[in-house]
Amino acid sequence: MKILYLLFAVFLLIFQATSGSADPLFADTFECRSQGNFCRAGACPPTFTASGSCHGGMLKCCSK
């Protein structure tokens, strides 16, 4: 029975996902947020302007 605990631990370590290793899902969203902007559905707030798109063109990138 003790070997089952060891096998379970090894199983979890083998199939563990590594965080941060994958490319971002949407490159436009990554670029928007890396410039200090934010994504929003619909119109940007009054003091912000739409400077691009996010989530593959479904959202707007709002910048100051």
pLDDT in tens, 14-48: 776 555 555 567 888 989 999 999 999 989 999 99
pLDDT of residue 20: 53
On whether residue 31 sits in a domain, the answer given is yes
Which structural domain range is residue 37 located in? 24-63
On whether residue 16 sits in a domain, the answer given is no
Are 31 and 59 in contact, with CB atoms under 8 Å apart? Answer: no
On whether residue 40 sits in a domain, the answer given is yes
Tokens for 53, please give them: 């798109």
Residue 52 belongs to a domain with what CATH number?
Answer: 3.10.360.10
Smallest CA-to-CA distance from 39 within 22, 24, 25, 51 is with 51
On whether residue 45 sits in a domain, the answer given is yes
Handedness of CA 32, 37, 39, 41 (dihedral sign): negative
pLDDT of residue 56: 87
Number of domains the chain contains: 1
pLDDT of residue 25: 77
On whether residue 33 sits in a domain, the answer given is yes
Mean pLDDT, to the nearest integer, of 6-19?
A: 73
